[in-house]
């Protein structure tokens, strides 16, 4: 037997106590959005510090302006091993609405589900269960002289409230947190039997435009058609943001957007994404975006322009014949490849201002943007992790994209110049952020085994 076989056997033998530990962790109602639970967040951080100490880490709780950070460090069994930074969060979403839970959200229990036993509690999947898969792998290695990689763990307690304290903490501790690669366990499997590595995350940038015409709201009977109506101007401009093929019409918008590598295209085609079910779930039947792109391409690898909000004039009951002085819209762009957030905003603003008729002024309020994140598919860590996952699950890990962004991944890249390997074991039906959140017991158990294999593979 090799060391990895011993380690996996230890994880199997320890499955019962591992579940007890996760249940202990889940019983702490560490809801970061609620001041009533700030003390519980502290308790969750203390619990992690104790757990880390029990498996050989040097660990401590670090105060911030908000909830504390937990940082732990352990050396590798061998000297020249790679160094990884593992990220997770101990805070959870509020459990509301409470009356929709079948059992109390902070009293974890095992339920029998369609795919076997599952763990039901707030945080079971997001992110306490996922986080503990990694710690259980570390625990198993302890029995055989320590982990194959040097490991730093960083657990925050404000992920569900936008991580307000994280940027300053990363900046102040950059040197101590920098590693060869970051491991982030906050994503999912492709399906219950197929593991996945998320290799692209779309970036985002947003802008808000307000058009102003007259110096006050006018009576449409007196000024109608003679005085410019900013709603007309705004709708004309926004209505031209997409061309007849659904592509974004901003000049230069597709600069830096690359076509999918052939092997990713083939791999995605093989995933047999059921877009009919995906859309049907929200009452839709027809992909609405760029023609000639598969649904998976559209959500994972193509940039978007969406108007997230529009307002102007009278919005109350009935009709008021006002000719409004102002109209506004909030617009956001999902970015891919090497699209530059600042240039996208500049192009949007030029698009708007070049279309303004006389007497209409545009004012813009920008938001900081972030570029897309791409883990190169020929990256060595990715290749090794993929083989390790295949060994555990019996099929190749899907290389998937993510239509949204995971801010910590951008921060690791930007502030610590470090790529992230995104591996997680959540499933689409885990009900994260919803009542009756669950984590498959197989996700928990095979997740721990997966991390053991990945750590071994990274050090091989």
Stretch that binds a second copy, among 3-11, 55-63, 207-215, 343-351 (CB under 8 A): 207-215
Give the phi and the psi of residue 213 in degrees, each rounded to 5. -105, -100
Contact with a second copy (CB under 8 A) among 67, 89, 139, 242: 242
Which residue in the set 142, 161, 235, 442 belongs to the binding site for a second copy (CB under 8 A)?
235
238, 209 in Cβ contact below 8 A?
no
The DSSP H or E segment spanning 398 is strand 398-402
Residue 162 engages a second copy in binding (rule: CB under 8 A) = no
**Binders of a second copy among 74-133, rule CB under 8 A?**
none
Contacts to a second copy from residues 245-284, by CB under 8 A: 246, 275, 278-279, 282-284
- In the complex, the smallest distance separating the C-beta of residue 437 from a second copy, rounded to whole angstroms, is 17
Cα angle 457-446-120, degrees, rounded to a multiple of 5: 145
Q: Does 16 bind a second copy (CB under 8 A)?
A: no
Q: Does 153 bind a second copy (CB under 8 A)?
A: no
The residue count for the chain:
460
Q: Considering only residues 361-380, where is the footprint of a second copy by CB under 8 A?
A: 367
User: Residue 322: is it exposed, middle or buried by C-beta count within 10 angstroms (0-12/13-18/19+)?
Assistant: middle
- Residue 379: CB minimum distance to a second copy, A: 23
For residue 129, is the peptide bond before it cis, meaning its omega torsion is within 30 degrees of 0? no
Least gap, CB of 131 to a second copy (angstroms): 23
Question: Which among 110, 111, 67, 118 has a CA at the least distance from the CA of 92?
Answer: 67
Contact pick of 219, 291, 383, 395 for a second copy (by CB under 8 A): 219
Nearest to 302 by CA among 350, 235, 254: 254
- Give 29 or 401: the residue with its C-beta nearer to a second copy: 401
176 part of the interface to a second copy, by CB under 8 A: no
Nearest residue to 205 via CA among 399, 347, 61: 347
Q: Is 396 in the site for a second copy (CB under 8 A)?
A: no
Closest CA to 90 of 118, 55, 59: 59
**Least distance from a second copy to the Cβ atom of residue 334, Å:** 5
Site for a second copy in 398-457 (CB under 8 A): 402-405
Confirm or reject binding of residue 286 to a second copy (CB under 8 A).
yes
**Stretch near a second copy under the rule CB under 8 A, chosen from 9-17, 54-62, 168-176, 228-236:** 228-236
Contact between 335 and a second copy per CB under 8 A:
no
194 binds a second copy (CB under 8 A): no
Buried b (16+ CB within 10 A) or exposed e, 118-146: bbbbbbbbbbbbbbbbbbbbbbbbbeeeb
User: How far is the C-alpha of 89 from the C-alpha of 127, rounded, in Å?
Assistant: 6
Cβ 315 to a second copy shortest distance, Å: 5
Site for a second copy in 290-309 (CB under 8 A): 290, 295, 298-299, 302, 304, 306-309
CB of 359 to a second copy, least distance (A): 5
Query: Count of residues binding a second copy (CB under 8 A)?
Result: 79
Cα–Cα distances in Å, from 140 out to 145, 164, 198, 216, 400?
Answer: 10, 34, 26, 70, 29
Which listed range, 16-24, 51-59, 354-362, 415-423, lies at the site for a second copy (CB under 8 A)?
354-362
Q: Is 33 in the site for a second copy (CB under 8 A)?
A: no
The CB-of-428 to a second copy minimum distance in angstroms stands at: 11
Give the Cα separation of 81 and 99 in Å (integer). Answer: 50
Could you tell me which residues come within 8 angstroms of residue 222 by beta carbon, excluding any fewer than 6 positions away?
Answer: none
Give the one residue of 35, 288, 378, 417 binding a second copy; rule: CB under 8 A. Answer: 288
Residue 164 as a binder of a second copy (CB under 8 A): the answer is no
């Amino acid at each position: 037997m090799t060391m990895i076989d011993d380690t996996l056997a230890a994880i199997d033998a320890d499955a019962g106590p591992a579940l007890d530990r996760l249940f202990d962790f889940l019983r702490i109602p560490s809801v970061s959005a609620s001041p009533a639970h700030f003390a519980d967040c502290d308790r969750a951080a203390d619990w992690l510090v104790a757990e880390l100490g029990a498996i050989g880490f040097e660990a401590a709780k670090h105060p911030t302006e908000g909830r504390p950070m937990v940082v732990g460090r352990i050396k590798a069994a061998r000297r020249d091993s790679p160094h990884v930074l593992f990220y997770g969060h101990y805070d959870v979403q509020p459990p509301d609405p409470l009356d929709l839970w079948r059992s109390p959200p902070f009293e974890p229990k095992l339920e029998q589900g369609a795919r076997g036993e599952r763990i039901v509690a707030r945080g079971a999947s997001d992110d306490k269960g996922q986080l503990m898969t990694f710690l259980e792998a570390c625990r198993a290695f302890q029995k055989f002289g320590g982990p194959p990689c040097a490991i730093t763990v960083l657990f925050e307690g404000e992920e569900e409230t936008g991580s307000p304290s994280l940027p300053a903490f990363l900046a102040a501790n950059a040197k101590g947190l920098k590693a060869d690669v970051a491991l982030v366990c906050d994503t999912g499997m492709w399906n219950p039997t197929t593991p996945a590595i998320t290799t692209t995350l779309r970036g985002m940038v947003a802008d808000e435009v307000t058009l102003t015409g007259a110096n006050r709201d006018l009576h449409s009977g007196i000024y109608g058609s003679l005085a410019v109506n900013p709603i007309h101007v705004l709708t004309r401009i926004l209505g031209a943001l997409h061309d007849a093929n659904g592509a974004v019409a901003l000049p230069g918008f597709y600069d830096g957007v690359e076509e999918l590598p052939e092997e990713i295209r083939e791999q995605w085609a093989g995933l047999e994404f059921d877009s009919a079910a995906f859309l049907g779930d929200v009452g839709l039947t027809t992909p609405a975006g760029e023609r000639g792109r598969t649904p998976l391409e559209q959500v994972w690898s193509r940039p978007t322009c969406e108007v997230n909000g529009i307002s102007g004039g009278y919005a109350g009951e009935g009709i008021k014949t006002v000719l409004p002085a102002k109209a506004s819209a909030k617009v956001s762009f999902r970015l891919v490849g090497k699209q530059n957030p600042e240039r996208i905003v500049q192009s949007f603003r030029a698009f708007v201002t070049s279309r303004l008729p006389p007497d209409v002024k545009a004012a813009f309020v920008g938001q900081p943007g972030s570029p897309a994140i791409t883990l190169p598919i020929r990256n060595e860590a990715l290749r090794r992790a993929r083989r390790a996952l295949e060994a555990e699950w019996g099929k190749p890990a899907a290389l998937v994209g993510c239509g949204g962004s995971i801010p910590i991944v951008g921060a690791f890249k930007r502030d610590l110049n470090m790529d992230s390997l995104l591996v997680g074991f959540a499933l689409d039906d885990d009900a994260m952020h919803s009542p009756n959140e669950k984590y498959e017991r197989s996700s928990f158990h095979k997740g721990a085994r997966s991390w053991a294999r990945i750590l071994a593979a990274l050090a091989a």
